[in-house]
Amino acid sequence: MDILQLFSAVLLGLGAVLGVVGAIGILRFPDFYTRMHAAGITDTLCTGFFIGGLMLQFGMTLATVKLLLIFMFMLFTCPTSTHALAKAARKGGLKPWSKSDTGSGAQNEGRAT
Protein backbone atom coordinates (compact mmCIF):
# COMPACT_ATOMS: atom_id res chain seq x y z
CA MET A 1 0.00 0.00 0.00
CA ASP A 2 1.19 3.44 -0.90
CA ILE A 3 2.46 5.41 2.10
CA LEU A 4 0.44 8.48 1.09
CA GLN A 5 -2.71 6.38 0.85
CA LEU A 6 -2.04 5.05 4.32
CA PHE A 7 -1.53 8.57 5.72
CA SER A 8 -4.68 9.73 4.01
CA ALA A 9 -6.66 6.81 5.46
CA VAL A 10 -5.35 7.58 8.96
CA LEU A 11 -6.32 11.25 8.66
CA LEU A 12 -9.80 10.46 7.34
CA GLY A 13 -10.31 7.92 10.13
CA LEU A 14 -9.20 10.40 12.80
CA GLY A 15 -11.57 13.00 11.33
CA ALA A 16 -14.45 10.55 11.52
CA VAL A 17 -13.63 9.66 15.14
CA LEU A 18 -13.50 13.35 16.07
CA GLY A 19 -16.86 13.91 14.40
CA VAL A 20 -18.38 11.18 16.56
CA VAL A 21 -16.69 12.57 19.69
CA GLY A 22 -18.12 16.01 18.91
CA ALA A 23 -21.58 14.49 18.59
CA ILE A 24 -21.18 12.64 21.91
CA GLY A 25 -20.15 15.94 23.49
CA ILE A 26 -23.24 17.69 22.16
CA LEU A 27 -25.39 14.96 23.73
CA ARG A 28 -23.54 14.87 27.05
CA PHE A 29 -23.10 18.54 27.86
CA PRO A 30 -25.70 20.23 30.05
CA ASP A 31 -26.84 23.35 28.18
CA PHE A 32 -26.76 25.30 24.94
CA TYR A 33 -23.56 27.25 25.60
CA THR A 34 -21.50 24.24 26.67
CA ARG A 35 -22.79 22.24 23.72
CA MET A 36 -21.46 24.96 21.46
CA HIS A 37 -17.96 24.19 22.78
CA ALA A 38 -18.40 20.53 21.90
CA ALA A 39 -19.56 21.45 18.40
CA GLY A 40 -16.31 23.41 18.08
CA ILE A 41 -14.45 20.12 17.64
CA THR A 42 -16.41 19.22 14.53
CA ASP A 43 -15.91 22.77 13.24
CA THR A 44 -12.15 22.77 13.47
CA LEU A 45 -9.97 19.69 13.87
CA CYS A 46 -12.50 17.24 12.42
CA THR A 47 -12.81 19.30 9.25
CA GLY A 48 -9.07 19.85 9.22
CA PHE A 49 -8.34 16.11 9.28
CA PHE A 50 -10.90 15.37 6.58
CA ILE A 51 -9.54 18.05 4.28
CA GLY A 52 -5.95 16.99 4.99
CA GLY A 53 -6.81 13.39 4.12
CA LEU A 54 -8.56 14.41 0.91
CA MET A 55 -5.62 16.63 -0.07
CA LEU A 56 -3.32 13.61 0.16
CA GLN A 57 -5.72 11.70 -2.09
CA PHE A 58 -5.54 14.35 -4.80
CA GLY A 59 -1.81 15.05 -4.58
CA MET A 60 -0.33 18.11 -6.33
CA THR A 61 -3.38 19.22 -8.31
CA LEU A 62 -5.67 22.21 -8.42
CA ALA A 63 -8.17 20.23 -6.34
CA THR A 64 -5.73 20.36 -3.41
CA VAL A 65 -5.55 24.15 -3.62
CA LYS A 66 -9.35 24.28 -3.71
CA LEU A 67 -9.54 22.11 -0.60
CA LEU A 68 -7.10 24.43 1.15
CA LEU A 69 -9.32 27.37 0.19
CA ILE A 70 -12.37 25.54 1.59
CA PHE A 71 -10.50 25.04 4.86
CA MET A 72 -9.61 28.73 5.00
CA PHE A 73 -13.22 29.75 4.38
CA MET A 74 -14.30 27.38 7.16
CA LEU A 75 -11.86 29.07 9.54
CA PHE A 76 -13.38 32.44 8.70
CA THR A 77 -17.07 31.54 8.73
CA CYS A 78 -17.36 29.01 11.58
CA PRO A 79 -16.47 31.38 14.43
CA THR A 80 -18.74 34.03 12.94
CA SER A 81 -21.77 31.75 12.96
CA THR A 82 -20.91 30.39 16.43
CA HIS A 83 -20.65 33.93 17.75
CA ALA A 84 -23.96 34.86 16.14
CA LEU A 85 -25.63 31.86 17.82
CA ALA A 86 -24.16 32.70 21.22
CA LYS A 87 -25.14 36.34 20.94
CA ALA A 88 -28.68 35.46 19.86
CA ALA A 89 -29.04 33.06 22.82
CA ARG A 90 -27.76 35.76 25.18
CA LYS A 91 -30.11 38.36 23.77
CA GLY A 92 -33.02 35.91 24.01
CA GLY A 93 -32.33 35.69 27.74
CA LEU A 94 -31.04 32.13 27.94
CA LYS A 95 -29.13 31.82 31.20
CA PRO A 96 -25.87 29.86 31.05
CA TRP A 97 -25.82 26.70 33.14
CA SER A 98 -23.44 26.76 36.07
CA LYS A 99 -22.10 24.02 38.26
CA SER A 100 -24.25 25.03 41.24
CA ASP A 101 -27.47 24.41 39.28
CA THR A 102 -29.15 21.06 39.64
CA GLY A 103 -29.20 18.74 36.64
CA SER A 104 -32.93 19.03 35.99
CA GLY A 105 -32.91 22.84 36.04
CA ALA A 106 -30.28 22.90 33.33
CA GLN A 107 -32.38 20.55 31.25
CA ASN A 108 -35.35 22.89 31.39
CA GLU A 109 -33.29 25.95 30.55
CA GLY A 110 -31.70 24.11 27.67
CA ARG A 111 -35.12 23.32 26.29
CA ALA A 112 -36.10 26.99 26.40
CA THR A 113 -34.06 27.70 23.27
Partner 1 sequence: MKHMTGLLFFLALLWWVLSGYTTPLLISLGIVSVLFAAFLAYRMDVVDEESHPLHLSVKLIRYWLYLLWQIVISNIKMVKIILSPNPDIDPRIVSVQIRQSSQLGKVVLGNSVTLTPGTVTLKIEDSRIEVHALNQESAQGVEQGTFDERVPARVEDQS
Nearer to partner 1, 10 or 45 (CB): 45
Cβ distance to partner 1 smaller for residue 98 or 102: 98
Q: Are 21 and 45 in contact (CB under 8 A)?
A: no
Residues ≥6 apart with Cβ < 8 Å to 55: 64, 67, 68
CB 38 within 8 A of CB 29: yes
Q: Enumerate binding residues for partner 1 (CB under 8 A).
A: 18, 21-22, 24-25, 28-31, 33-34, 36-38, 40-41, 43-45, 48, 62, 65-66, 69, 75-76, 78-80, 82-83, 86-87, 90, 96-99
